[in-house]
Amino acid sequence: MKKLICGAAVLAAGVLMLGSGVHVSALETEPNCKAAYSCDYGTGTVIYSKDEEKRLPIASMCKIMTLLLSFEAADRGEISYDEMITVSENAASMGGSQVFLEAGLSYSAEELLKSIAVCSANDSCVAMAERIGGSESAFLEKMNARAKELGAENTLFANCTGLPKDPQYSCAKDVAVMLKELLKHEKYFELTKIWLEDFHHPDGRIIQMTNTNKLIRFYDGCDGGKTGYTNEAGSCLAATAKRGETRIIAVVIGAENSKQRNAIVSSLLDEAFNSYESQTILEKGKKLEEGVSVLGSRVKEVEICAEENLTVFGKKGETRNFTVEYQIEPLRAPIEAGTEAGEAVLYRDGIEIGRVKLVSMTEAPALNWWDAFRETAKSWN
């Protein structure tokens, strides 16, 4: 195994990974809500927490999982954004937030997802659930299974909308985990940043959609999130904002009203941006100087890059030394673009604080019979 080491000094301190400890900052006053949580997107570093693992109803924030499963189904080719989905009587009968879908009419998957992301449409949620799962109950099983895969141990879904139904609960930390996974999908950002747009029905009706997340328009850097409200859950909001290289996730459950929930999330984001910063050490998709040798191919080396960003996060104004170790082994052809080629491991003071997979950027076909013969003949000579 080849190990390449590099080092530098960066403005970062107290970097903690989820599960390795918690650094919690203090707001000036404790937020008036049932639970609150904020963390760095890149490293998972906890910035603030209040009853973050307490099981609570989260209302429409459960649609984060509905959207996540929908985008993942599209990534796998199980659905396409332009396919037409016929609405069932069951989906059309949903109450609460909706775009008043008509049973028997067909809508594009993208328009349905847009109405979920922008105005929290319950009817569109059920229509998508039935399309992806075959039935709402089968989709529900997928939701709970995916939550377990993500480590959301304090989460149980009873439907895909968040409408009151027992037993159903989550916690502020789990909501942040689910939102972080959703943020990996660029299509989500395309939809959730819409502030105001008309929803066109096939029968000519037009419904105006307004984004339920007011921070999209009124908080600098906010480009995603999901609101929720029921009498039982109170006012809820999970939001994300990015400034420079720093992206923060903030969650509040059980505020008294929407004005208060927006203020709490804004204060969580303010605290993070004012006191902390991120620096990208390896950028996703950017070619590394060192390639990886290939065995069994005329291509002797392939270029490699980080599969995801590798970042450090910490308090502003504090310096720490770090080292990045590239653990690379020769690959054997055939190699496709995206083949895992090793890992980059980030250390601070000799302690691992992060790692990311390295993948090939180019392909290397295996030697054919004639190529193999010529290579063997060279060795004879």
Q: Where are the domains of the chain?
A: 2-13+283-380, 35-278
The catalytic residue among 88, 97, 115, 120 is 120
Q: Reply yes or no on whether the pLDDT at 82 is more than 90.
A: yes
Spatial CA neighbour of 227 closest among 217, 215, 209? 215
**Which has the minimum average pLDDT: 1-15, 174-188, 220-234, 278-292?**
1-15
Mean pLDDT is highest, among 2-16, 92-106, 278-292, for: 92-106
Q: Is 226 a catalytic residue?
A: no
Model confidence at 19, pLDDT cuts 50, 70, 90, reads very low
Topology annotation, domain 2-13+283-380: Peptidoglycan synthesis regulatory factor (PBP3), Domain 2 (2.60.410)
Torsional sign, CA 120, 123, 124, 128: positive
> Is the pLDDT assigned to residue 248 strictly greater than 70?
yes
CATH topology (fold) of 35-278: Beta-lactamase (3.40.710)
pLDDT at 221: 97
- Average of pLDDT values for 239-257? 97
What was the pLDDT predicted at 15? 32
Residue 375 has pLDDT above 80, yes or no: no
What pLDDT sits at residue 17? Answer: 32
- Judge whether 378 counts as a catalytic residue: no
Report pLDDT for 282: 92
The pLDDT value given to residue 5? 42
Helix (H), strand (E) at residue 11: strand 2-11
pTM: 0.84
Catalytic-role residue among 34, 49, 50, 60:
60
d(C-alpha 243, C-alpha 317), whole Å? 17
End-to-end CA distance of the chain: 30
Any catalytic annotation for residue 60?
yes
Of 188, 176, 185, 168, whose CA–CA distance to 151 is shortest?
A: 176
Q: Which of 63, 114, 180, 242 is labelled catalytic?
A: 63
